[in-house]
Amino acid sequence: MRAEIISVGTELLLGHTINTDAAHVGRALSALGMDLLQVHTVGDNAGRLEAALREALNCADVVITTGGLGPTDDDMTKETVARVLGAPLEEHKDSLRRLREYFGSRPIAANQLKQAWLPRGSTAFPNRAGTAPGCAVPGKPGQWVILLPGPPSELLPMLEDSVMPFLQRMGGAVIASFMVRTFGIGEGSAALRIADLTEGANPTVAPYASDAEMFVRVTAKAENAEAAEALAKPVVDAVRGRLGDVVYGVNVSGLEAVVVEQLRQHRRSLAIAESCTGGLLAKRITDQPGASEVFGYGLITYANEAKTRLLGVPEEQLACYGAVSPQVARSMAVGVRERYGADYGLGITGVAGPGGGTEEKPVGLVYVALSCSNAIWLRVLRPQGRYLGREWTRRLASSHALDMLRRHMAGSACGGRMGGRAAAGLSFSAA
Amino acid sequence: MRAEIISVGTELLLGHTINTDAAHVGRALSALGMDLLQVHTVGDNAGRLEAALREALNCADVVITTGGLGPTDDDMTKETVARVLGAPLEEHKDSLRRLREYFGSRPIAANQLKQAWLPRGSTAFPNRAGTAPGCAVPGKPGQWVILLPGPPSELLPMLEDSVMPFLQRMGGAVIASFMVRTFGIGEGSAALRIADLTEGANPTVAPYASDAEMFVRVTAKAENAEAAEALAKPVVDAVRGRLGDVVYGVNVSGLEAVVVEQLRQHRRSLAIAESCTGGLLAKRITDQPGASEVFGYGLITYANEAKTRLLGVPEEQLACYGAVSPQVARSMAVGVRERYGADYGLGITGVAGPGGGTEEKPVGLVYVALSCSNAIWLRVLRPQGRYLGREWTRRLASSHALDMLRRHMAGSACGGRMGGRAAAGLSFSAA
């Protein structure tokens, strides 16, 4: 099955919006074993959209458009597809009902109502997060044009709920796809360890890097789900074996999901003290539904006074070593655990930048401490000459905190053990 | 001047890499007043790259390729351009010298050396951050094909240092582009209010929705920057006038940036008490460099005990009204402000879901309270039959909190005012 994506939106050409939709759809197509030939990005321009559409219809079995389904005049994807395929727009009853439900007692303007009109013969895809439904419009026999909304918050659920099942039915074969997720190994090293596994055609094995993590996707294709899984499973196990304890899960959504699940299973609780991450670690923990079972207290002690008052970090320690120090990270982790009665305490302090760095404490330097009833562990993230920005530094620091707790609960080494007043810790590159 | 971008790389089609290069180049072209007709993304496939190139050469004065300049076998952009333009590759002395400098005393493999070969007649662009130089290759008279490396860390400096000056010499108009950002109005309603403004050709005015917000882009083209700005400014003012106080900024990065800047200007401080948002609000505030000037304390009181202990929320209130109530939101906002000595206190409590909802307190219900020295304000977010998920609910709640504070500091109405024990608040749809 050959696919093409046409992304529609002048904001994409002007660079105001980055085309993440194409990456999301590309990933979905690749997970289904479909060949994406190309992505064509055009502005809100019916003529150019029409030309791209006609060209794509010549080569592809599935043409997926993103954007241009909204209520405004420059939203013209549906009209253009209707014209090119000779499938005039018709009122779609179910979409109209959903639109009326969405607006409730509020009045609906005519431009809003046009969203409930779909090309004749369409299969509608409901929009969980907005007003414009998506749809699949038949082209030549066996060919479909799939129209998706532009905002990622609308496109993503639709892709998962409706489009992937629709494409899977089209393709005949069933795909089993496993994502082996790791933290703490580079793409290059991981690729070397699994090099021979990536040569197979079914299952396919593909490594890729994302956001300081490294994933390996194993995808098998077969007549039914059981057969596809049976093909994939031994290869998934082989990948896990090669990569070792940097693997934190398979088909999990992230480190935070694994940590919350471990805490729940062990009936343990976590308290968090954050400085430079400013709530990001607590946010990632509470992204997980049901986090309240294992998490009750998160303190963002951005000010030094807050560290002393809420966590009991000694003023002398702040004065002597500074807020960004292994000693303060340790006091934060111990303080939040002991004061708020949790089984584990995590403390993070660092220089997120871009300002505030010194020669001794450069931007990107972060200390992460984990405290449990009988030990304290430390990691030091050092920028090593390359500072990758505030967002990266904060994200990486919160991932290291989660990884320390994950490894500790799994019985793996999780950092440098801190003695009485010692400041030693395992060092990691922060770039 | 008409431009096209061809992005080359299988990783882009698989969705392993998001095409940020196209956005960077698009922004540069628009700043120079060039019309970007389309972006074409193809894999590491010489045939499809050649087809895209031939098509682009038919329409555009400038064709910019990104990616495929590296040393490996699947890097074939330069070879393909050389073939299509009939400009055979030749050793480029200056690039060879730079390559030798880059490698120093290390040996240089043959595949590395191929990077110093450029199509005949090229203007070379040195690479500050990597080994592959970029170049501009002449096509028909007045036409150029510009080859840029794929890694953004290499592309960005080359774009700024070499490509923008090169394109500017080619001539063309200059663009001024303004993004008017709003919170609290739907795309449909906004479009109606500015309908007549969107009919102009220069400046162009285009609304679009993103993540529960609505933006309007105003773009003017003229001979120089001053003239373009002079064309755009009155229309930007008109858009602001039509939309009123839902506009939170022009060419700003988000509500949190505006709020931190307002706090800084007014020399006011903020303390935050979060329950259902679990750190997201504090995270958004501390995404801003320099947030520590205005923000010292953020408390994530996920457990009821934490609300009582850290914020002084009365136990009776939790027992009588429940943690998700206007009374508790109020006590959180007042408690965090008074206890931690801030000028403003924000309190958020709600049911983020997907579990935990009841008939009386459905998933998606959130109370947001703002406390200042002499008043307390409340917003109630009600799901109105449509629950859009945990992430959406949390994001929207944090945006409402930021919007309340922004409006309060700007002197606009920001919510329902709470009396002594009254529970009234302004209601908003949470969908």
What would the 3-class secondary structure string for A236-250 be?
Answer: HHHHHHHHHHHEEEE
Name which of B34, B187, B269 to mutate to probe chain A: the one with the most chain A Cβ atoms within 10 A of its Cβ. Answer: B187
Confidence at B174, pLDDT banded by 50, 70, 90? confident
Nearest to B192 among A109, A129, A280 (CB): A109
C-alpha to C-alpha distance for A351 and A28, rounded to whole angstroms: 37
Percent of chain B surpassing pLDDT 90: 68
By the CB < 8 Å criterion, does B299 face chain A?
yes
Name the least confident of A9-23, A286-300, A408-422. Answer: A408-422
By the CB < 8 Å criterion, does B375 face chain A?
no
Enter the tokens of residue A120: 């004749």
**Cα–Cα distances in angstroms (integers) from residue A414 to residues A266, A271, A408, in the given order:** 17, 18, 6
C-alpha to C-alpha distance for B431 and B425, rounded to whole angstroms: 18
C-alpha to C-alpha distance for A308 and A316, rounded to whole angstroms: 10
Name the least confident of A123-137, A289-303, B65-79, B388-402. Answer: B65-79
**Cα–Cα distances in angstroms (integers) from residue B5 to residues A16, A25, A318, B24, B168, in the given order:** 16, 20, 53, 11, 17
The overall average pLDDT reported for chain B is: 91
Name which of B40, B197, B208 to mutate to probe chain A: the one with the most chain A Cβ atoms within 10 A of its Cβ. Answer: B208
Minimal CA separation from A431 to chain B, in Å: 13
Residue A348, pLDDT > 70, answer: yes
**Closest to B145 in 3D by CA, of B307, B296, B4:** B4
Whole-complex ipTM: 0.80
- CB spacing of A111 vs B191 below 8 angstroms: yes
DSSP labels for B215-237? Answer: EEEEEEEESSHHHHHHHHHHHHH
Summarised one tens digit per residue, pLDDT across range B338-395 is: 999 999 999 999 999 999 999 999 999 999 999 999 999 999 999 876 788 898 899 9
Name the least confident of A260-269, A419-428, B128-137, B370-379. Answer: A419-428
In contact, B336 and B273? CB cutoff 8 Å:
yes
- CB spacing of B19 vs A24 below 8 angstroms: no
Minimal CA separation from A209 to chain B, in Å: 7
DSSP labels for B343-354? Answer: SEEEEEEE---S
C-alpha to C-alpha distance for A153 and B209, rounded to whole angstroms: 11
Nearest to B388 among A30, A129, A289 (CB): A129
Name which of A19, A160, A198 to mutate to probe chain B: the one with the most chain B Cβ atoms within 10 A of its Cβ. Answer: A19
Minimal CA separation from B91 to chain A, in Å: 30
A window 181-220, beta carbon within 8 A of B: 206, 208-210
- CB spacing of A27 vs B18 below 8 angstroms: no
Residue B233, pLDDT > 70, answer: yes
Q: What does the pLDDT read at residue B315?
A: 97
Nearest to A295 among B15, B289, B302 (CB): B302
> What residues contact A48, with CB distance under 8 A and at least 6 apart?
A42, B37, B38
Q: Find the residue in B nearest to A299 (Cα).
A: B299
Residue B18, pLDDT > 70, answer: yes
Between B75 and A324, whose confidence is greater? A324
- CB spacing of B23 vs A17 below 8 angstroms: yes
- Sort out which chain B residues have CB atoms less than 8 A from A74's CB and list them: 198, 206
User: Phi first, then psi: what are they for B123, rounded to 5°?
Assistant: -95, 120
Summarised one tens digit per residue, pLDDT across range A75-89 is: 899 999 999 999 999
- Sort out which chain B residues have CB atoms less than 8 A from A208's CB and list them: 11, 14, 16
Confidence at B177, pLDDT banded by 50, 70, 90? confident
In contact, A98 and A132? CB cutoff 8 Å:
no
Summarised one tens digit per residue, pLDDT across range B28-50 is: 898 777 889 999 999 989 999 99
C-alpha to C-alpha distance for B142 and A88, rounded to whole angstroms: 43
A window 267-296, beta carbon within 8 A of B: 272, 274, 277-283, 285-287, 289-292, 295-296
DSSP labels for B287-343? Answer: TSTTGGGTEEEEEEE-SHHHHHHHH---HHHHHHH-SSSHHHHHHHHHHHHHHTT-S
> What residues contact A339, with CB distance under 8 A and at least 6 apart?
A310, A311, A312
How big is chain A, counted in residues?
431
Q: What does the pLDDT read at residue A44?
A: 93
Angle between helices A77-85 and A46-59 (to 10 degrees): 50
- Sort out which chain B residues have CB atoms less than 8 A from A14's CB and list them: 26-27, 30, 36, 177, 217, 219
- CB spacing of B207 vs A25 below 8 angstroms: no
Q: What does the pLDDT read at residue B422?
A: 44
Q: What does the pLDDT read at residue B165?
A: 84
Between A169 and A278, whose confidence is greater? A278
**Closest to A346 in 3D by CA, of A324, A327, A371:** A371
Nearest to B15 among A30, A70, A391 (CB): A30
Angle between helices B390-410 and B255-266 (to 10 degrees): 30
Residue B272, pLDDT > 90, answer: yes
- CB spacing of A12 vs B39 below 8 angstroms: yes
Q: What does the pLDDT read at residue B171?
A: 66
Q: What does the pLDDT read at residue A153?
A: 86
Percent of chain A surpassing pLDDT 90: 70
**Closest to B301 in 3D by CA, of B268, B333, B256, B259:** B333
Summarised one tens digit per residue, pLDDT across range B85-116 is: 999 999 999 999 988 888 877 788 888 888 99
Q: What does the pLDDT read at residue A91?
A: 94
Nearest to A26 among B13, B211, B299 (CB): B13
User: Phi first, then psi: what are they for B55, rounded to 5°?
Assistant: -65, -45
User: Phi first, then psi: what are they for B12, rounded to 5°?
Assistant: -70, -40
Q: Region B427-431: what's the mean pLDDT?
A: 68
In total, the C-beta contacts within 8 angstroms joining chain A to chain B are 275
- CB spacing of A279 vs B295 below 8 angstroms: no
C-alpha to C-alpha distance for A208 and A217, rounded to whole angstroms: 8
In contact, B347 and B331? CB cutoff 8 Å:
yes
Torsion of CA B384, B388, B390, B394, to 10 degrees: -70
DSSP labels for A159-220? Answer: IIIIIHHHHHHHH-SEEEEEEEEEES--HHHHHHHTGGGGG-SSSEEEEEEETTEEEEEEEE
- CB spacing of A101 vs B385 below 8 angstroms: yes
**Closest to A92 in 3D by CA, of A70, A114, A62, A69:** A114
- CB spacing of B43 vs A39 below 8 angstroms: no
Summarised one tens digit per residue, pLDDT across range A359-409 is: 999 999 999 999 999 999 999 999 876 787 898 899 999 999 999 999 999
- Sort out which chain A residues have CB atoms less than 8 A from B23's CB and list them: 12, 15-19
3-class secondary structure for A97-120? Answer: HHHHHHHCCCCCCHHHHHHHEEEC
In contact, A275 and A298? CB cutoff 8 Å:
no
Interstrand relation of B123-125 and B134-138 (parallel, antiparallel or unpaired): antiparallel
Minimal CA separation from A305 to chain B, in Å: 8
Q: Region A283-296: what's the mean pLDDT?
A: 96
- CB spacing of A297 vs B298 below 8 angstroms: no
Between B111 and A119, whose confidence is greater? A119
Q: What does the pLDDT read at residue B431?
A: 55
Torsion of CA A187, A188, A190, A192, to 10 degrees: 150
Instruction: Write the burial class of residue B120 (CB in 10 Å: 0-12 exposed, 13-18 middle, 19+ buried).
Output: middle
Enter the tokens of residue A149: 């909304």
How big is chain B, counted in residues?
431
